[in-house]
Structure 1
Amino acid sequence: MSNSPLLGVEKTLVLLKPDAVSRGLTGRIVARFEDAALKIVGTKMKLLDAESTKQHYFDLEERLGAEIYNTTASFMQTGPVIALALEGVDAVAKVRKIIGGTYPDQAAPGTVRGDFAHQTRASSEVSGKAVMNLVHASGNSEEAKYEVSLWFDSSELFEYETLAEKYAY
């Protein structure tokens, strides 16, 4: 879609967190993005180290405090994550709608978190644990640009035409 005449085409980042990978939910989650006409233009699996976690969550400690940052960073390093660069019309907002609210027990049925995540807000607050909510998604267009460039070199992002682009648009 990069060369598409459609307005509002953008890229965004989604991370399938260690809980999504370990529970074998990656295919089911990715299918939801593809079903919504979002195109995968980059993908990789990675074990995060302290430095890459700090780069990705650079502002979390300042916004929410050291305890939240430390529990999130520790959780994100417990297993591999799968990074997806997705492209489509209003991709950032569309992805946010598909994944649902941050806290799984408050996410609407039909969303990734509402259907698959088990942790409650109370259980994470009481235990001091990171929210195990399966996915991270860029929060806005500026954040998406930063995060996509953090995770992918331009040589790792692909342009191609999907059947939906060819026939529906």
Structure 2
Amino acid sequence: MERTLVLLKPDTLARGLVGRVLGRLEDAGLKIVGTKMRWMDGELCRRHYFDLEERHGAEVYRTSAEFMQRGPVIALVLEGFDVVATMRKLLGSAFPSDAAPGTIRGDFSHHSPAASRATGKGVANLVHASANPTEAAYEVALWFDKDELFDYRTLVESYTY
């Protein structure tokens, strides 16, 4: 089974959407094997977004870092068959106007005037998910120690077909 990191960003918590987002992940059959709530300090932010400045510029990195440090985040490790690709489909596009209805971002994200100053597209898109399996492995190891991840069987996994 594949694993991926998912971060419920400060806007998810501030808007009271944690339960609704978690419900969608569980409804999709994804298993939570690790979870914690924490503040994303400057060092963790630099390590997590190590290539953001290179890809999108200093202003995008600065705005993203400020946003991610404005409140706590909930970090999850999810497990499932092809979980990275599944999460990307569940989330939808990073930009609210491009995200399809029925996706998490399509239903809940919005444009943010503060982020707009930096990117011109300013979004508060609720959830981060690893982009590919290599990034997932890096991010899971960055956020979680091995003893914080759990192996267990869900009721669905115990069924025989």
Name the TM-score, length of structure 2 as normaliser. Answer: 0.94
In the other structure, the counterpart of 2:118 is 128
Shift of 1:104: 1.4
CA distance in 2, matches of 1:163, 1:125: 42
Aligned-partner residue type, residue 137 of structure 2: K
Residues 137-148 of structure 1 correspond to what in structure 2 (within 5 A)? 137-148=129-140
Query: Residues 168 and 15 (structure 1 numbering): CA distance in 2 closer, same or farther, change over 3 Å?
Result: farther
Aligned-partner residue type, residue 66 of structure 1: A
In the other structure, the counterpart of 1:4 is none
Query: Number of paired residues?
Result: 159
Question: Is 1:39 equivalent to 2:31 in the alignment?
Answer: yes
In the other structure, the counterpart of 1:6 is none
Query: Residues 35 and 58 (structure 1 numbering): CA distance in 2 closer, same or farther, change over 3 Å?
Result: same
Runs of 5+ unmatched residues, structure 1: 1-8
Shift of 1:109: 0.2
In the other structure, the counterpart of 2:152 is 160
Shift of 1:12: 0.3
Query: 1:72 touches 1:131 (CA, 8 Å); kept in 2?
Result: no
Shift of 1:13: 0.5
Query: 1:39 touches 1:86 (CA, 8 Å); kept in 2?
Result: yes
CA distance in 2, matches of 1:65, 1:140: 22
Runs of 5+ unmatched residues, structure 2: none
CA distance in 1, matches of 2:111, 2:158: 41
Query: Residues 126 and 24 (structure 1 numbering): CA distance in 2 closer, same or farther, change over 3 Å?
Result: closer
CA distance in 2, matches of 1:74, 1:46: 15
Identity %: 61
Superposition CA RMSD, Å? 1.5
Secondary structure, in 3 states, of the residue corresponding to 2:111?
coil
Secondary structure, in 3 states, of the residue corresponding to 2:93?
coil
